[in-house]
Amino acid sequence: MNNKNKHPFKTPEGYFDSFQDKLMAKLSDDHVAIPKDNAFKVPDNYFENFNEKLTEKLSEETKVIPLFPIKKVIAIAASVAAIALVFFGYQWNNVEDVNFSDLANTDIEAYFENTEFDLTSYEIAEVLPFTDTEYSNMLSQPIDNENILDYLSDNINDFEELNLQENE
């Protein structure tokens, strides 16, 4: 079972002792199978035109295929830049203008109620134009004399505060 140290090829004993003598004897024989003429043939005028053919082949530029294609990299970079430009351009210009008509009436009323302007009702009335509006359009209920008397009786304790005079 010790096959690792054994060689499968064997030569007869004394084979290499006389090898050189046997080789020299075969080479000195005249009937050796080695031909004396040139076995390789060259076409006629091959070496006369060799320089011209060689310079033609060397002058032809062969196309070099780059390992790192620059055109593909430029195309990828341009597409990434275009996508980034569209994305950021869309995000920055997405601000909508807020108009006065977009505000709810309740928001406007809450703003005026919660903000102190230091303006009296007389100053506000001086600024607002009432030429085209009618007072009846501002009121939800028509003003009757009965409504006025009810309001005055509920809110005023002393009628002398009203300072009503018929001359005014």
pLDDT in tens, 12-23: 887 788 888 888
Q: Is 162:152 a contact under the CB 8 Å cutoff?
A: yes
What's the confidence (pLDDT) of residue 91? Answer: 67
Report how far residue 26's alpha carbon sits from residue 94's, in angstroms, rounded to the nearest whole number: 99
Identify which has the larger pLDDT, 161 or 122. Answer: 122
What's the confidence (pLDDT) of residue 81? Answer: 95
* Residue boundaries of the structural domains of the chain: 19-59
What's the confidence (pLDDT) of residue 107? Answer: 81
pLDDT digits (tens, 9 = 90+) for 97-153: 777 777 777 887 888 788 877 877 778 777 776 665 565 556 666 678 888 888 888
Report how far residue 112's alpha carbon sits from residue 107's, in angstroms, rounded to the nearest whole number: 9
Q: Tell me what the pLDDT averaged over the chain comes to.
A: 76
Report how far residue 58's alpha carbon sits from residue 25's, in angstroms, rounded to the nearest whole number: 50
pTM attached to this predicted model: 0.24
Report how far residue 46's alpha carbon sits from residue 9's, in angstroms, rounded to the nearest whole number: 48
